[in-house]
């Protein structure tokens, strides 16, 4: 795989690892799940500060498959990914290698670093619970409550296969165990107002239209929808 390269896998976006790993290089090749307009300003600042050029390959999906095909000939030095499921997919396919960098260890808290040095997390987000503004608006609702029968027919969500929801379920397993998660998911499913569909913002639109009262969506969508 990429064992002949200073490759690492990052969750979210940033250039700390690239900076630490490539001071002597003239070019860093980045494979990114993050859209160009989000990360190019960071790349520009990085190049300005270090003199290192950044070449980026962007794709919404399929980067791990591309890395597998390229094998030892892959030009990739760094992968920027957007969620824990894609991150672990890269690690489990042996497409990354450990990196031991003192600057990374100093700048990134231990809870955001893989113990084996395979990845480094630079930002985090929440799967928010969005709710109706109508008179029956629930107060103080939690993830656990989404399986409560009192919300039967009141919840909208995107596909459970979506990486964001996979990450949420994985976190639920980590905190509560597999059996409790299965029970929670069954209750959640029974409370759906419709078949899972659309993206996170589509669920909030469904609340506005009266299709449901509750939905789940990433925290940054709130700001995006407000503007």
| pLDDT per residue as tens digits for the range 1-37 | 333 333 444 443 333 344 444 444 589 999 999 999 9
Whether 117 and 134 share a structural domain: no
Token pair recorded at residue 222? 């709130």
What pLDDT was estimated at residue 194? Answer: 97
Decide if pLDDT at 191 tops 90: yes
68 three-state secondary structure: helix
Pairing of strands 78-81, 8-11: parallel
| pLDDT per residue as tens digits for the range 46-93 | 999 999 999 999 998 889 999 999 998 999 999 998 888 888 888 899
What pLDDT was estimated at residue 2? Answer: 38
Mean pLDDT for 141-145 is 94
Find the domain containing 58 and state its range: 8-121
What pLDDT was estimated at residue 88? Answer: 85
Number of domains into which the chain is organized: 2
In a domain, 209, yes or no: yes
DSSP 8-state class, residue 223? H
Whether 157 and 73 share a structural domain: no
In a domain, 2, yes or no: no
CA–CA separation, 122 vs 185, rounded Å? 29
Give percent above pLDDT 90 in the chain: 64
Residue finishing a domain among 70, 100, 121: 121
Token pair recorded at residue 181? 């998660």
CB environment 86-125: b (16+ within 10 A), e (fewer): bbbbbbeeebbbebebeebeeebeeeebbeebbbbbbeee
Report DSSP letters for 110-166, one per residue: GGGB-TTSSEEE-----EEEEE--STT--SS--TGGGG-GGGTT-EE---TTSHHHH
Whether 14 and 117 share a structural domain: yes
CA–CA separation, 48 vs 134, rounded Å? 50
Residue finishing a domain among 86, 103, 121: 121
Query: At what angle are helices 84-92 and 63-70 packed, to 10 degrees?
Result: 20
Q: Is the pTM of this model over 0.75?
A: no
CB within 8 A of 193, min separation 6: which ones?
A: 153, 154, 155, 156, 206, 211, 212
Query: At what angle are helices 163-176 and 178-190 packed, to 10 degrees?
Result: 130
């Amino acid at each position: 795989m990429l064992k002949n390269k200073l490759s690492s896998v990052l969750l979210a976006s940033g250039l700390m690892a690239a900076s630490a790993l490539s001071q002597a290089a003239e070019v860093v090749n980045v494979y990114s799940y993050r859209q160009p307009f989000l990360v190019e300003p960071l790349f520009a600042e990085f190049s300005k500060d270090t003199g290192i050029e950044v070449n980026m390959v962007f794709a919404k999906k399929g980067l791990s498959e591309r890395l597998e095909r390229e094998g030892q000939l892959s030009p990739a030095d760094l992968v920027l990914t957007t969620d824990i499921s894609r991150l672990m997919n890269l690690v489990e396919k042996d497409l990354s290698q450990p990196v031991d960098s003192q600057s990374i260890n100093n700048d990134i808290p231990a809870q955001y670093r893989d113990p084996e040095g395979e990845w480094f997390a630079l930002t985090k987000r929440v799967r928010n619970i969005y709710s109706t503004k109508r008179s029956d608006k629930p107060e103080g609702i939690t993830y656990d409550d989404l399986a409560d029968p009192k919300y039967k027919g009141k919840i909208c969500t995107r596909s459970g296969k979506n990486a964001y929801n996979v990450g949420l379920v994985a976190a639920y397993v980590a905190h509560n165990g597999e059996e409790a998660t299965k029970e929670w998911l069954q209750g959640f499913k029974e409370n759906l107002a419709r078949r899972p569909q659309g993206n996170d913002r589509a669920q909030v639109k469904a609340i506005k239209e009266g299709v449901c009262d509750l939905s789940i969506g990433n925290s940054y969508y709130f700001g995006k929808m407000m503007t």
